[in-house]
A and B are shown apart, each in its own frame.
Chain A
Amino acid sequence: MATPLVEADVEPTPVKQLARRRLADRDGALAWLFLMPSVVYIIALVAIPFGLAIGFAFSDVSAGDPSFDWAGVRNFVRAFEDPVFWRSLGNTFVFTGVSMVFIVLFGKILANILVANFRGKWIVRFLVLLPWTTPVALSTISWLWLLDSIYSPIDWVLRQVGLLDKGANMYWLGEPGLAMSSVIAVHVWRLVPLAAVILMAGLVAIPRDIDEAAKVDGAGYWRRMFEITIPLVLPVIAVSALFGAIFTFTDMAVVRILTRGGPNDATQVLSSWAFYRGIDGGDVAGGAAIALFLFPLLLAAAVGILRVVRRIEVS
């Protein structure tokens, strides 16, 4: 006789509780717990101000009259009719574009120095990272002195070398072209260390074998640089460049401290112009409309970043 597969009247073994489930074992509850602070943070400091800015842009709110009245697209029309707006927009692109070229270029060169092995490398690394660790307010004060209209040490050096006449000055922040160059130079000086560290991470990730294989294959320094190293760190360069571009596009710290947009709006960028109109000038609605103009441009850049990141994951 075959044994029945299922014994109907056998009592199931009682299951003993070994230990209680703790909070740390409950993934669902934990997920909410850990997400909550950042959700609150994003809603309070990103979503609400962003919503407010959109609202203000279509209103007539000002520092003197905070009551909300619908104004349609009047603020935008006013901004577009203002030549300073177009000047700021152009400056923003020049500022961002030129800065990024130099930041990536110097960042790559410094990254190569950071990964190189030589005597006294720690002091060079320290010097490279110094601009990043110095507070902007502090470092920009020394830049203000360096670029001072009369007492600029740079001018003094130029005079000593003989490139500048006795008693003459460059007026680094006074001449429109020079002022923009100065703003860009300080911004580049500020961001290069970060770019260098990001690119260094990219360089370190290249397997040593590949560089050595290229050496054995007869490639010299420049061929290895342009055919092996740069293509392999290109995804990292692209992400950091886009990231830096967004940061630069919305940054007004250097402009605010060095030139306040001057001379004659020659260094005015969109973010500083929005700030001066909206906060300093009290025209909250007008400032919001200008600031909102940045949004579609930044959105495009963000989409760009995400696409590059996806491509890296795929390959």
Chain B
Amino acid sequence: MAVVEVRDLIKQFDGGKVHAIDGVNLTAGDGEYLVLLGPSGCGKTTLLRTIAGLEEPTGGDILIDDHVVTGLPPRARKIAMVFQSYALYPHKTVLANIVFPLRAVRMDKVEREKKARWAAELLGIEKLLDRKPRQLSGGERQRVALARALVREPQVFLLDEPLSNLDAKLRASARDELKGFQDEIGTTTIYVTHDQIEAMGLGDRIAVLAGGKVRQVGPPTEIYDDPADTFVATFIGSPPMNLVPREGLLVGFRPEHLLPAEHVRGDDRTPLPLAVDRIEYLSGDRHVYGTVSRIGEETRVVARLPATVDTPITAGETHDFAVHASRLRFFDAGEEGLRTEPIRLGV
């Protein structure tokens, strides 16, 4: 168990033409579950690979357990990594796959078999030990890869999109297991994903990356409720946050906070007329698409009405909607789109 710290990390490819990581500072606390979230090409996998030692950084340092490991090969870092493809050794049995890291550290035979069985039992794959990887299903392969990572008792787990090769149903249950597993082991874990549901569900904290930079680090609720900039606001959430331009600012609010006026309680509400043009009914919620006016420029937005809101809404009509003032977020309309001080909307 250890703290992983990344200081001013820079990684360039093709002689500086591609800035994969552009000055990242990040710390994963002892036993923490840190999720690196971002769109494809944002540098999250490169960051993970650099922490693993598979890529050499162009600049900056990596510290594991307060030791600088920047120049060290992967094997000296006491880390374990689960690859997106699982990267099981196809010619070895499951047992041989799991004991491979132990043989590399020259553990004796009896002890390593014991260790492998312990890991296999923990992950429920003790019946598969004699099989070859190609005889396993996707979910079983993922468990074998986890068992192989687990037996070394690493200081840090690095997981690179380990659920992306599973089908949707299996992914939900595997996510649940993965979380329970980490709670039990308590090892510092860095988890890379592009799937915000995985990130929100698994992470103690989430680091949102874009363009090789960290946009925001914080617990899931903070990332969701208080996005640091417009990128985070629109990357997280499905549908994403609505942004309405107004005099050099962007007024943001989540679709679920834009409700028919009578459902927004208190005096401190901002009324918004919504010219509805389309309604979708998705898993119990109504997604209402329309154009808002009054608080800024006319902008197309979406409102997500939970099943408990039964106000009749008709496409083609303008309805009275509102957002509670405490739910409004304000961003600079510039390129960075950073958060700004809230203002009172004189409506």
Chain A residues close to B by CB (< 8 Å): 207, 209-210, 212-220, 223, 227-228, 231-232, 315
Contacts and interface: CB of A to CB of B under 8 A. Distances in A.
Contact of B54 (A215, A218, A219, A220): A215
Contacts of B87: 207, 209-210, 212-213
A215 B83 contact: no
Given A207-B87, A210-B87, A315-B134, A216 B79 contact: yes
A190 B102 CA distance: 42
Given A231-B91, A315-B134, A215 B75 contact: yes
Contacts of B83: 209, 212-213
A211 to B, nearest CB: 9
A217 B152 CA distance: 8
Q: Which 5 A-B pairs have the closest CB atoms?
A: A218-B104, A209-B87, A213-B87, A217-B101, A218-B75
Interface in B67-121: 73-75, 79-81, 83-85, 87-91, 100-101, 103-105
A216 B158 CA distance: 10
**What size tier do the contact residues of chain B reach?**
20 to 34
Nearest to A206: B90
B91 A223 contact: no
A216 B74 contact: yes
B54 A217 contact: no
Contacts of B233: none
Contacts, number: 64
B89 A216 contact: no
8 contacts: A209-B87, A210-B90, A216-B80, A216-B81, A218-B74, A219-B100, A220-B75, A231-B91
Given A207-B87, A223-B104, A315-B134, 14 more contacts: A209-B83, A212-B54, A212-B83, A214-B89, A214-B100, A215-B73, A215-B75, A216-B54, A216-B74, A216-B75, A218-B75, A220-B75, A228-B89, A232-B91
B100 A217 contact: yes
Contacts of A214: 89, 100
Interface centre among A214, A217, A228, A315 (most CB of B within 10 A): A217
Given A207-B85, A209-B85, A232-B90, A215 B134 contact: no
B148 interface: yes
A232 B89 CA distance: 9
Nearest to A221: B73
B272 interface: no
Contacts of A231: 91
A223 B79 CA distance: 18
A210 B87 CA distance: 5
Contacts of A216: 52-54, 74-75, 79-81, 158
